Structure 1
């Protein structure tokens, strides 16, 4: 694949990951194993609010193709097939979920040095159609996406965004939810080794005149340990500790509490990913 501006979903991704990635308030256990022939098996168990669920996923990689099959405790079977370079600079993704026979979807992504295009179409008589395009470079990108429901004849979404990326910083502006939400985010690396990063995000919802201001930070204490924290103007404070154990296994502890309503019970989560 060529190195260009990336997909539309990459706009604002650095800020989103710093503020939300790996934060979880459930109990999650994951066990993964991989073979030399490209076969991987992952088993996941989650306990949320006293309700337990699980999933088994099998991934097989061969040359330019990846087959991913997931089976959950509700007997749903989700299959995703990804093939790169069927045509030059393209990636094709086909997915379907059983027993929902109308859930099939095929997506085609095209990558260029100065543009990235993506289109996804549902495999049913009245499909949903998603289109996105991003233009620019790795340092500057502008893009938009839209979704259309052929049954109702209406747009399900239309969003736009701009990102500016430098070696030690990244800024993004996103107009989402059919123009109802505006998000402005900025990420800054504090040191040259990028062990410490900070983020600030302002979100405004026009329909309710509600503003949300969130700040966050991450710091790598050592190559195996990462701490993160975030706080918004509504008083929600979150923190996370992630430590890599032996054999690339990862333990993550996270929590959140409302500083404006201390009588509310704080939320805590634990995630253990074992990779022998």
Structure 2
């Protein structure tokens, strides 16, 4: 793929990932392994509250084609086929889930040195169409996305955003929810590996006149251990500890506490991901 501004979904993604990735409130166990034929196998089990679920997945890569199949405990089969460079500088993604015959979707991503374009179409009798585009460079990006529902002839969404990126920092502003919300975020990395950093995000919803301000950070204690924390103006405090117990195998413990309601029990999450 060409070096360029990236996809519209990348705008603000670094800040969002630091504030949300690996924060969990359930218990999850997963095991991944690679077979001699080049197939990556994954098995996972999740317990949330009193409910348990699980899935088994397989990923096979051959040249520029990637096939991802997943079967869960509710007998749903999700399949994703990704092909790179059917046409130069493109990525084509086809996905569907059985037995839901209306879940099929085809997405085509086009990358250029100064632009990107994504179009996704749901494979139904009255399809919905999502289109997004960006222009700029890896340093400065401006973009927009829109969704159209053919059955009603209405726009289901329209969003616009801008991002300024530097090697050690990134700032973005996104106007979403059909103009009802605006989100501004800034992330600054504190080391070359980008494991330690600080982030701030403010979101305003115009219809309710509500503001949400969140600050967070991550710190690499050493090459194997990472701690993260976040706090918003509504009193929600989150903390996370992640440790690499063996190469590529992680144990993650997280907790969330409502500081304005200390009588409530905090939420705890535990995840163990093994990659032998």
- What's the TM-score, normalizing by structure 1? 0.98
Is 1:64 equivalent to 2:64 in the alignment?
A: yes
Per-residue CA distance 1:98-148 (angstroms, 9 max, x = gap):
111111111110000000000001112111100000110111100000111
Q: Which runs of 4+ in 1 moved over 2 A?
A: 35-38, 190-196
* Distance in 2, Cα, partners of 1:194 & 1:97: 36
Is 1:251 equivalent to 2:251 in the alignment?
A: yes
| SS of equivalent to 2:264 | coil
Q: How many aligned residue pairs are there?
A: 276
Structure 2, unmatched stretches of 5+, are none
Residue 173 of structure 1: CA displacement? 0.1
Q: Which runs of structure 2 are paired with 1:146-161 in the superposition (5 Å)?
A: 146-161=146-161
Residue 35 of structure 1: CA displacement? 2.6
* Distance in 2, Cα, partners of 1:262 & 1:130: 43
Residue 154 of structure 1: CA displacement? 1.2
Tell me what 2:87 maps to.
87
Q: Which runs of structure 2 are paired with 1:27-46 in the superposition (5 Å)?
A: 27-46=27-46
Tell me what 1:218 maps to.
218
* Distance in 1, Cα, partners of 2:221 & 2:231: 20
Is 1:172 equivalent to 2:164 in the alignment?
A: no
Per-residue CA distance 1:19-65 (angstroms, 9 max, x = gap):
00000010000011113532111011000011001111110000000
Residue 88 of structure 1: CA displacement? 0.4
Tell me what 1:7 maps to.
7
* Distance in 2, Cα, partners of 1:114 & 1:67: 29
* Distance in 2, Cα, partners of 1:66 & 1:215: 37
* Distance in 1, Cα, partners of 2:107 & 2:192: 38
Tell me what 1:108 maps to.
108
* Distance in 2, Cα, partners of 1:152 & 1:102: 17
* Distance in 1, Cα, partners of 2:194 & 2:154: 44
* Distance in 2, Cα, partners of 1:54 & 1:63: 30
- Root-mean-square deviation (Å): 1.0
| SS of equivalent to 2:247 | helix
Per-residue CA distance 1:63-101 (angstroms, 9 max, x = gap):
000000111111111100000000000000001111111
* Distance in 1, Cα, partners of 2:107 & 2:248: 32
* Distance in 1, Cα, partners of 2:87 & 2:189: 38
Residue 196 of structure 1: CA displacement? 2.2
Is 1:269 equivalent to 2:269 in the alignment?
A: yes
Tell me what 2:136 maps to.
136
* Distance in 1, Cα, partners of 2:192 & 2:241: 22
| SS of equivalent to 1:125 | coil
| SS of equivalent to 1:19 | helix
Comparing 124-133 and 32-41, the one that deviates more = 32-41
Comparing 259-268 and 186-195, the one that deviates more = 186-195
| SS of equivalent to 1:245 | strand
Per-residue CA distance 1:171-218 (angstroms, 9 max, x = gap):
000011111110000001234554420000010011100000000000
- What's the TM-score, normalizing by structure 2? 0.98
Provide closer, same or farther for how the CA distance between residues 108 and 194 of structure 1 changes in structure 2, counting only shifts above 3 A: closer
